[in-house]
Amino acid sequence: MDIAFRPQRSASIEVRDLQVSLGGNPVLRGVDLRIEAGRMVALIGPNGSGKTTLLRCLLGLQQPHRGSIRLLGEGPPGPRLLRRVGYVPQRLQLDPSFMLTVREFLAIRRPGTAGWFWRPSRFVDDQLHEAVAEMDVTRLLDRPVAGLSGGQLQRVLICSSLLNEPELLLLDEPTAGVDTPGEEDFYGLIADVHRRRGLTVVLVSHDLSMVYRHASRVYALNGVICCEGSPDEVMNAESLKRAYGIHFTPYHHHHHHTHGGHGP
């Protein structure tokens, strides 16, 4: 018998039957997920669907009650593996008294750079050059981190996670705080990073319209992965509409969104 065999790419994330209850509520009810290495994908779901909980499990911050996680083809998340993973939170509340400049913030985030503060900034800039250029933050290097706009801060945070040369980058609501006109540029930058470095990028968002153009595959979460496929397939899937109900409108062409709400 002739069986067509397509070799599978290795997986950056493999999750099997992941179950988590919080405060007695089942939040993840058996999540199965396989994200191939080198892809740029989106994990979407309305508020409360368990995105943060799943991210916390992937980062080893939440112990699942059942199921397994394998990162980068090796094993469950732990300190050694997580050094190869970049994570950018959706918000970072900075006290206005946080007085590091962007250059200093990036320098202390780079591994093995003890004593950088005492070096000339040119030396630091040379070391940071690649990631700084990629995320277009050169002009921000002398600015205080605490004074940046939401979008600028987000670019600096992604830049800082690139300094560790991650193989997997998890971006939680990447455009929270980015103004609507800036969103497309922002995804363009991430898409360039993805192409240039060949790393796996997971965009986590409550809204497919923000990520559909750049994701090659979409996973829709609602306690379980209720639907996966190309952005077009997921957008039109009956299962998605059923799972999310009328309150989830995963696609608009021209929208002015606000974060934290997605009702009609």
Q: Which stretch binds ligand ADP (CB under 6 A): 1-9, 51-59, 73-81, 254-262?
A: 51-59
**Token reading at 190:** 């991430």
CA dihedral 137, 138, 140, 143 (to 10 degrees): 140
Task: Figure out which of the listed residues 15, 35, 52, 224 binds ligand ADP, where binding follows CB under 6 A.
Answer: 52
- Rounded to a whole number of angstroms, the minimum distance from the CB of residue 34 to ligand ADP is 20
What are the beta bridge partners of residue 25? 22
Question: Cβ of residue 64: shortest distance to ligand ADP, in angstroms?
Answer: 13
Instruction: Confirm if 215 and 173 have CB atoms less than 8 A apart.
Output: no
d(CA 11, CA 93): 33
Considering beta carbons, is residue 43 or 85 the nearer one to ligand ADP? 43
Site map for ligand ADP, 63-82, x if CB under 6 A? --------------------
Cβ distance to ligand ADP smaller for residue 152 or 174: 174
Q: For residue 149, what are the CA distances in angstroms to 91, 98, 210, 260?
A: 12, 15, 19, 19
Angle, CA 89 vertex, CA 84 and CA 92 arms, to 5°: 130
Nearer to ligand ADP, 166 or 223 (CB): 223
- Sheet with 66-71, strands from edge to edge, namely 25-36, 11-22, 66-71
- Using the minimum distance from each CB to ligand ADP, give the nearer residue, 22 or 133: 22
Which residues, including other chains, have CB under 8 Å from residue 242's CB and lie 6 or more apart? none
As measured in angstroms, the least distance from the Cβ of 117 to ligand ADP is 37
- Minimum Å gap between C-beta 231 and ligand ADP is 19
Binding flag, residue 205, ligand ADP (CB under 6 A): no
Question: What is the DSSP track for 192-255?
Answer: HHHHHH--EEEEEES-GGGTTTT-SEEEEESSSEEEEESHHHHHT-HHHHHHHGGG-----SS-
CB of 195 to ligand ADP, least distance (A): 28
Closer residue to ligand ADP in complex, CB, 48/73: 48
Residues contacting ligand ADP: total by CB under 6 A: 12
Asked if 73 and 22 count as a contact pair (C-beta separation under 8 A), the reply is no
Shortest Cβ 57–ligand ADP spacing (Å)? 10
Structure tokens at 173: 């609501």
- In terms of CB distance, is 53 or 175 closer to ligand ADP? 53
List the x/- string, 21-50, binding to ligand ADP by CB under 6 A: -xx-x-x-----------------x-xxxx
Per CB under 6 A, residues contacting ligand ADP are 22-23, 25, 27, 45, 47-53
